Structure 1
């Protein structure tokens, strides 16, 4: 019975970690088929090895996510623009009751606030905490691939079991024929 060559990457609890079937290091990553019949523990480093497996990327989901992000950005910009227009109209309705000095002072305060906001954004974008917060995605939108296709020389659980059984047979002294004891 041939197993499908498409495996899903799953994580298990640290208490359930077992040794990787390839390098025997402790691992919490498991590759499992859709029908749950074939599975094996594997290190995350092996998942990045192109000689072992290749990720199957869902291009439609990536494009949908990009489109959604772009739409959100457009909506945000529209809202900001509408707010600015509303403030501008309110200011025109009040009329120019302030004199030039107050306008200049207000403009300077706004410029200082903008420069402070941009420096704060730069500081937070350079900090590792902000990067983690910005890159944190819901579980359904992980950046790393979850579905893999093994290369033809990849070791599946069945192949590993066959190799183990063959090693056990070769250690059995009755596996090989005995030397003849009589003359021919």
Structure 2
């Protein structure tokens, strides 16, 4: 069958602008997700919910693994950001405490002030090292880029056959329209005496 060879069962998921959303092929709700063949011969709008349904389409194995890895990276980035915020909050509080101590103590001995400063610096270094260690531990887990969901699918047999039938019917209809427009396709009227 020439149509099967012409249209492989590989579909790439693409997003269009929300104002360009059209009816989903299955449920007819507005959708901004499109499945398109790599050669751009066929496309259709589909809801993301249908893409998650394994009875409709199966994501490419490599793509599914990559999508899971991207989700992990996003979670990891959130954890790293939380560690950084926690460290910044500690530094801010420590600075406020130092200012309050200086105001309360007024002028104390220089040796005591130096000891306090050294103690504060040591605590800051310890916190900085702790923050770096946490970030390093979290960063060692990551190894992928970010985006959402798999992007390459193959349709189940029934849906794939529906797409092939649709394309075949469109070709037949186009051929029939061209035949009807051609005046030589019809027999000529009889020219004899009545």
* Greater percentage in helix: 2
Q: Which has more radius of gyration?
A: 2
Normalising to structure 2: TM-score of the pair? 0.48
